[in-house]
Amino acid sequence: MHAHTHDTEKVVSVGVVGAAGYAGIELLRWLSGHPGVSVDAVFASSRAGDALADQVPSMRGVFDLTLQDSSPETILGVGLDAVFLCTPHEVAADLTPPLLSAGLVVLDLSAAYRLKDAGAYPTHYGFEHPSASLLEQAVYALPELHAPEIAQANLLACPGCYPTSSIVPLAPLHAAGLLDGSFPVIIDSTSGVSGAGRKANERTSFCEVSQRPYGVFSHRHTPEIAQALPGAKVVFTPHLGPYERGIATTIHAQLAPGKTVEDVRGAWADTYADAPFVRVREPGDFPGVGDVAYTNFIDLCCAADEQGHLIVCSAIDNLAKGASGQAVQAFNLRFGFPETMGLLASGTQRGVIA
């Protein structure tokens, strides 16, 4: 079923692998309102043969599609231009090489191609990387920082949700030398429960879920954040929050001698002057997850004391700017669409998860 096709405009044929998970559902929500996209196939091996609408009732009447098995042969048999992978990391690592070599543009929402060091995968993700040679070729698809590379790439490694909430505020400050490197950058983030995925788990079940830290000194997103801030010492602690969606991140750092909050705001203004989804808020107006839910925005705010202790706060929707919205933003850059296409109007609607 073709969504909003216009004869006069380019239409890209896309498929979504892992279409019945939270990131896949969110992605379909954004793509359903994108005039440059035709969603021609959905895949979910564990539910192959089921109607998409039976697994994702919100898609009833939107996409009349049946879930197919996600083997390379099946995916390649459809004749797609691009495919979004909303799958476990190992699945994406294995699927990508045959899809790439057949000429598809691959937008991978897993971590399979985010890290440049193949040796980091056994340590942080528990598997040996099957196609390490592709790690160099993959572009880290954070649109605000890597738009020119994204426009040329066929393998787009879409950033993680926690790293997006940390790298967008920190990268310009790190690059401009505003931070004192002898102090660690301390990042505390809380994510809504949808970040844990759709699969049942006692810790995230309705009666059990509570605010708590996890992955202390061991979370797999730490190397992804550190990779974007070369030379910085990063201490990252994620927390589970008892709500559906959104990430609130609070970052502590030390300003370099003589640097001020005005320098921080100036670096953001310079780097993100043309970034449609970065909203720098007025001093003291710290963002909450409700301000960005169901949108692709990241809201930033900062403050510092007389001793140069800097606090930076950001908020994103973990399923949108933290995953599927960001993937569509990268897709737009890659296929020459306006960066905001399909990402503004739908942001005003409450979505399929909550």
Tens digit of pLDDT for each residue in 319-330? 999 999 999 999
User: Which pLDDT score is estimated for 16?
Assistant: 98
Q: Which residues contact 148 (CB under 8 A, 6 or more apart)?
A: none
Kindly report, residue by residue over 9-23, the tens digit of the pLDDT.
799 999 999 999 999
- Structure token digits, residue 210: 């509570």
Residue 109 DSSP class: -
Q: From CA 128, how far away is CA 156, in angstroms rounded? A: 20
| Order of strands, sheet of 155-157, starting from the edge strand that comes earlier in the sequence | 67-68, 37-43, 12-17, 82-85, 105-108, 155-157, 139-140
User: Higher pLDDT residue, 80 or 350?
Assistant: 80
Kindly report, residue by residue over 80-105, the tens digit of the pLDDT.
999 999 999 999 999 999 999 999 99
User: Higher pLDDT residue, 8 or 186?
Assistant: 186
Q: For residues 335 and 12, is the Cβ–Cβ distance under 8 A?
A: yes
User: Higher pLDDT residue, 204 or 264?
Assistant: 264
Q: Are β-strands 67-68 and 82-85 bridged in parallel, bridged antiparallel, or unpaired?
A: unpaired
User: Which pLDDT score is estimated for 9?
Assistant: 76
User: Which pLDDT score is estimated for 345?
Assistant: 65
CA-based nearest residue to 31, from 107, 88, 90, 125: 107
Does residue 161 have an active-site annotation? Answer: yes
What is the per-residue DSSP string for 13-73? EEEEETTTSHHHHHHHHHHTT-TTEEEEEEE-GGGTTSBHHHH-GGGTTT---BEE---HH
pLDDT at 346 over 90: no
Fold of 161-316: Dihydrodipicolinate Reductase; domain 2 (3.30.360)
Q: From CA 280, how far away is CA 290, in angstroms rounded? A: 16
Q: What is the CA radius of gyration of the chain?
A: 20
Rounded mean pLDDT, 148-156: 98
What is the per-residue DSSP string for 126-190? SS--TTGGGTTT-EE--HHHHHHHHHH-SEEEPPPHHHHHHHHHHHHHHHTT-B-TTS-EEEEEE
Residue position matching structure tokens 């992955």? 215
Q: From CA 140, how far away is CA 23, in angstroms rounded? A: 18
pLDDT at 352 over 80: no
Q: Check for a shared fold between 12-160+320-348 and 161-316.
A: no
- Considering the chain, what is the average pLDDT of its residues? 94
Question: Looking at the domain that runs over 12-160+320-348, which CATH code has it been given?
Answer: 3.40.50.720
- Structure token digits, residue 321: 């700017």
Kindly report, residue by residue over 298-314, the tens digit of the pLDDT.
999 999 999 999 999 99
What are the residues facing 189 on neighbouring strands? 238, 249
**What residue spans define the domains of the chain?**
12-160+320-348, 161-316
pLDDT at 348 over 60: no
Q: From CA 323, how far away is CA 154, in angstroms rounded? A: 18
**Which of 86, 158, 161, 313 does the annotation list as catalytic?**
161
User: Which pLDDT score is estimated for 45?
Assistant: 84
User: Which pLDDT score is estimated for 57?
Assistant: 94
Q: What is the pTM of this model?
A: 0.94
**Neighbour tally for 16: CB within 10 Å:** 33
User: Higher pLDDT residue, 347 or 331?
Assistant: 331
pLDDT at 4 over 70: no
Rounded mean pLDDT, 161-185: 98
pLDDT at 2 over 60: no
Kindly report, residue by residue over 189-219, the tens digit of the pLDDT.
999 999 988 888 998 999 999 999 999 999 9
**Neighbour tally for 131: CB within 10 Å:** 17
Q: From CA 19, how far away is CA 312, in angstroms rounded? A: 35
